[in-house]
């Protein structure tokens, strides 16, 4: 593992991987957004709803949607 790899790994062990500007990357991003909305609307756990909302905030507006 190089120094560049270790700088991208947050303390909780997840690795940040940018979604590429490809049809598959866009589809993955849309799936993530849909899952977050589902969690916000239907989950009973406020912590899960908060985490989903924070993730959506980090993602920002999707390409090709109204902003």
pLDDT, residue 14, reads 54
* Torsions phi, psi for 51 (to 5 deg): -65, -40
Rounded to whole angstroms, how far apart are CA atoms 14 and 33?
A: 18
pLDDT, residue 64, reads 61
What is the pLDDT confidence band of residue 9, given thresholds at 50, 70 and 90?
Answer: very low
Mean pLDDT of 5-10: 44
Rounded to whole angstroms, how far apart are CA atoms 18 and 11?
A: 18
pLDDT, residue 65, reads 58
Give the pLDDT confidence of 27-59 residue by residue, as tens digits.
888 899 999 999 999 999 999 999 999 998 888
């Amino acid at each position: 593992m190089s120094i560049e790899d270790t700088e991208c790994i947050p303390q909780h062990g997840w690795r940040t991987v940018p979604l590429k500007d490809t049809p598959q990357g866009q589809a993955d991003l849309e799936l993530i957004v849909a899952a977050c909305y589902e969690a916000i609307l239907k989950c009973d756990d406020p912590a899960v709803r908060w985490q989903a909302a924070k993730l959506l905030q980090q993602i920002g507006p999707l390409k090709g949607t109204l902003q």
